[in-house]
């Protein structure tokens, strides 16, 4: 069976900042990187293992970042 890699939707800095204050996200979206170090200026959302009564927490990481075990532990990624 062939593994299918589905590309994640990419967002700009402005879109991420707008989403953070949108009623839909209610503070469940956090930035996981320094925007000055993000060369492309694009971000991808990743689900974390953290949740509360507002819902699952997400972290925005630079687009194309390699998800390693260290990254998973640092951000508690699922």
State residue 45's pLDDT score. Answer: 93
* pLDDT score of 78: 82
The domain spans of the chain are 10-75
Looking at the DSSP bridge assignments, the partners of residue 29 are 58
pLDDT of residue 5: 56
Place of tokens 């939707």: 9
Within the chain, what is the greatest distance between any pair of CA atoms? 41
pLDDT (0 to 100) of residue 4: 47
pLDDT reported for residue 6:
54
For residue 60, the number of C-alpha atoms closer than 13 Å in the C-beta half-sphere is 24
The dihedrals phi and psi of 69, each to the nearest 5 degrees, come to: -60, -40
Encode the chain (78 residues) as per-residue pLDDT tens digits.
444 455 779 999 889 988 988 888 888 998 887 777 788 889 999 999 999 998 899 999 998 889 999 999 999 998
């Amino acid at each position: 069976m062939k593994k299918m890699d589905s590309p994640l939707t990419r967002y700009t800095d402005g879109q991420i900042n707008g989403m953070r204050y949108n009623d839909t996200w209610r503070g469940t979206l956090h930035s996981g990187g320094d925007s000055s170090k993000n060369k492309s200026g694009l971000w991808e959302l990743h689900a974390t293992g953290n949740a509360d009564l507002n819902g699952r927490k997400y972290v925005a990481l630079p687009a194309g970042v390699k998800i390693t075990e260290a990254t998973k532990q640092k951000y508690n990624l699922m």
